[in-house]
Amino acid sequence: MNKSLIAVSALGLIMAGLAGVASADVSKAPTKKITVFYPGSSGMEWIQKGLEHSGAKGVKKGEACIACHVDEKTGNEESADIGKKIVSGGMSKDIALEPTPIKGKPGSIPVTVQASHDDGNIYLRFSWKDTGFNSGKKMDADNPIKVGVMLEEAGKVEHDTVGGCWATCHTDVRTMPGVKDDKKTKYIKDGNLAAGKFYDLIQFRSGKGQKPVDGYIADKRVMEGGKALTDAKGELKGGIWTVTFTRKLSGGEGDVKLEPGKLYNFGFAIHDDHTAGRYHYVSLGYTLGLDNAKANINVMKQ
C-alpha cells in the first residue's frame, strides 16, 4: 500500500472514531422516572426540625431522604403528595412552607431521566410533559424554562448524601420568607473549592440567545468559570419538553471529575412559568456513577 492510501486509511479511522463519539445517543439509554416537586421554603435547617419534619431524626443520622420518600424497588414516590401540600400553602394547618402560594401551580412534575457516557463525555437527558401552567407573573422574563443539574463527589460536603442539593439550600438565602438580604445566594457550609467542598452546577436556559451556565456552589453560587459543559439544548415538541446536556468527564475549576468506581451525589431542578429563586421544582438527592450498579442512576457506556 502506498503512502497516500495509508494516509487516507488512517484519516478514515480517525474520522470514524470521532463519529462514534459524536453519535452516542442518550435517548436510547435506560429510563428512570423521578418526580420533581415544589419545596417551598423547606431549607436544610427546616428538614432538621423534629417538631415539623418527622424525618429530622433520620436526617441527623445521615439517612438519605429517598430512603423514606422513595421505594426504589417499586418506583413509588411521595414527592407528588409532598409538592401538592406545600404548593397550596403548607404541610398542615400548623406548618406553612409557602406563605405566598402561586394559585393553580402544579405541585410536581414527573420527569424521565436518561444518562450515558463514552470515553470523554457524559450525556444527561430530561423529558417531561409541559404543564401548560401560566401564572402571568414573569420573575425571569427572559427564560420560560430553566433546568439545573448539580453534582458532587460523595463524602465531601456535610449532609451531601442526605438530600442532595438541600445541602446548598438554607433558610437565610434570598427569596426565602423574611430574608432581607437580596444578595445572599445558595452556599455550602465551609464551602471551599480547594478542599473539594463544592457542588458542580450546570444549567440550561430556554430564552432566545441565553447561554447555558457552567459554574459551582461553594461559599457562594458562581454562575460561570466551568469548562466541562460543552452543550445544553432543549425543545418543546408535541407538548413534551426535552433538555439534553453534554458534559466532559473532567474540566477545570469548579468542575467535578467523573471517574468509574466512584459515587456522586446528583440532583436537578426545573424552573417553569418564568420562575426564579426558590419557586422551582426539585428532585430529592440521588447517587450517580459511571458503570456502577450501586448508583441510583447507573450511567452506562455506549
Query: What residue type is assigned to position 95 of the chain?
Result: I
Reported confidence tier of residue 6, pLDDT bands at 50, 70, 90: very low
Structural domain includes residue 195: yes
The predicted structure's pLDDT at residue 91? 67
Structural domain includes residue 7: no
Structural domain includes residue 1: no
DSSP 8-state class, residue 91: S
Structural domain of 206: 31-301
Q: How far is CA 278 from CA 40, 56, 175, in A?
A: 7, 21, 7
The predicted structure's pLDDT at residue 94? 62
Pairwise CA distance, residues 30 & 248, whole Å: 20
Task: Tell me the whole-structure pTM to 2 decimals.
Answer: 0.91
Helix or strand run (H / E) with residue 86: helix 79-87
Share of the chain above pLDDT 70, in %: 91
- Three-state SS for 247? strand
Stretch 17-34: mean pLDDT: 75
Digit-coded pLDDT (tens) for 189-210: 999 999 999 999 999 999 999 9
Is pLDDT at 19 greater than 90 in this prediction? no
Q: Which three cell numbers stand for residue 125?
A: 437527558
The predicted structure's pLDDT at residue 93? 58
Structural domain includes residue 25: no
CATH code of residue 188: 2.60.40
Q: How far is CA 60 from CA 63, 65, 107, in A?
A: 7, 11, 27
- Cell numbers 473532567 correspond to 250
The predicted structure's pLDDT at residue 95? 74
Residue 181, exposed/middle/buried by CB under 10 A (0-12, 13-18, 19+)? Answer: exposed
Structural domain includes residue 180: yes
| CB proximity list for 3: less than 8 A, separation 6 or greater | none
The predicted structure's pLDDT at residue 239? 98
| CB proximity list for 117: less than 8 A, separation 6 or greater | 24, 123, 249, 258, 290, 299, 300, 301, 302
Tally the domains of the chain. Answer: 1
Of 4-8, 76-80, 112-116, 208-212, give the lowest mean pLDDT range.
4-8
Digit-coded pLDDT (tens) for 35-63: 999 999 999 999 999 989 999 999 999 99
Pairwise CA distance, residues 259 & 242, whole Å: 26
Structural domain includes residue 192: yes
Helix or strand run (H / E) with residue 68: helix 65-69
Pairwise CA distance, residues 39 & 43, whole Å: 8
Asked if residue 207 lies in contact with residue 143, where contact means CB atoms within 8 angstroms, the answer is yes
